[in-house]
Structure 1
Amino acid sequence: MVTTAREIMTRDVTCVGERETLADAARKMADLGVGALPICGQDNRLKGIVTDRDIVVKTIAAGRSPSDVTAADVAQGKPVTIGADDDAGEILRTMGQHQVRRLPVIDGHDLVGIVALADVARALPDRPVGELLDAISVP
């Protein structure tokens, strides 16, 4: 049986609004115990992902206050996503090609979940996961 994104994703994903600050995003991350949140627009469309690293590197280390920077300010380009019915091979290829550890899962235009590297590691044999780690770890 083929494993799909829908089967291994984390459901009930909390978004940070594009107009919310990174301080708001950090509080949500702390409350949820996560290191990344999807950025959702006023139109309920996915605008990107903000990570705890974005808050530190792109904001605090750059001398900016997380209370003054919005999630939209750190969203970069079109977010990399995976379809809910895409298989594990496609998840691995997409993560490796874009060097990302998390993929928002889209069904039509709706955000329905997130697949993280840990989800893939639990669902698949060791070898493909090891190859993925090598691919996303290359600078």
Structure 2
Amino acid sequence: MTTAKDIMHSGAQWIPAHETLDRAAQMMRDHNVGSLPIADENERLCGIITDRDIVVGCVAEGHDPSRVTCGDMAKGTPRWVESDADVDTVLEEMQGHQIRRLPVIENKRLVGMISEADLAQHLSDEQIKAFVSSVYAGS
């Protein structure tokens, strides 16, 4: 059985909720990623910040990314899967919530992220087609 841990990109980094968006952008640049999980003071997942969130939700609205925190931008209930979740569970979570990036948790700690690129490398053409159809249907 293929698990979330088998297909995830390991080495994902948290960004603390109190950090500013300019710091998040720097971390994204340094790690060559488009999103970062946001951690609260107890290192619990409280959201995900994307490069698009920074541009559209902050800069385009005329806000200063050096003054807005990641926690300010965290909205909704963050979605995640355990590292031992099977691929069907991963797909159900991502498709059911129309999300493109999914944190992977093990022993209450972030161990990786699953992105569309990870799915493309590990899934069948039929699974990828179903994923794309459901996640992008409402876009």
TM-score by length of 1: 0.95
Q: 1:6 is aligned with what amino acid?
A: K
* Structure 2 unmatched runs, 5+: none
Q: Residue 38 of structure 1: CA displacement? A: 0.7
Look up the SS of the partner of 2:54 in the other structure.
Answer: helix
Q: Which residue of 1 is the match for residue 66 of structure 2?
A: 67
Q: Distance in 2 between matches of 1:110 and 1:27?
A: 23
Q: 1:25 is aligned with what amino acid?
A: A
Query: What do you get for the CA RMSD once the two structures are aligned?
Result: 1.0
Q: Residue 29 of structure 1: CA displacement? A: 0.5
1:43 lines up with 2:42 in the alignment: yes
Q: Identity of aligned pairs, percent?
A: 42
Q: 1:110 is aligned with what amino acid?
A: R
Look up the SS of the partner of 2:10 in the other structure.
Answer: coil
Q: Distance in 1 between matches of 2:105 and 2:27?
A: 22
Q: 1:105 is aligned with what amino acid?
A: V
Q: 2:33 is aligned with what amino acid?
A: V
Q: Which residue of 2 is the match for residue 112 of structure 1?
A: 111
Q: Distance in 2 between matches of 1:16 and 1:110?
A: 13
Q: Residue 52 of structure 1: CA displacement? A: 0.2
Q: Which residue of 2 is the match for residue 133 of structure 1?
A: 132
Q: Distance in 1 between matches of 2:130 and 2:76?
A: 27
The number of residues matched between the two structures is 138
For residues 1-139 of structure 1, the aligned pairs below 5 Å read 2-139=1-138
Q: Distance in 1 between matches of 2:95 and 2:19?
A: 30
Look up the SS of the partner of 1:130 in the other structure.
Answer: helix
TM-score by length of 2: 0.95
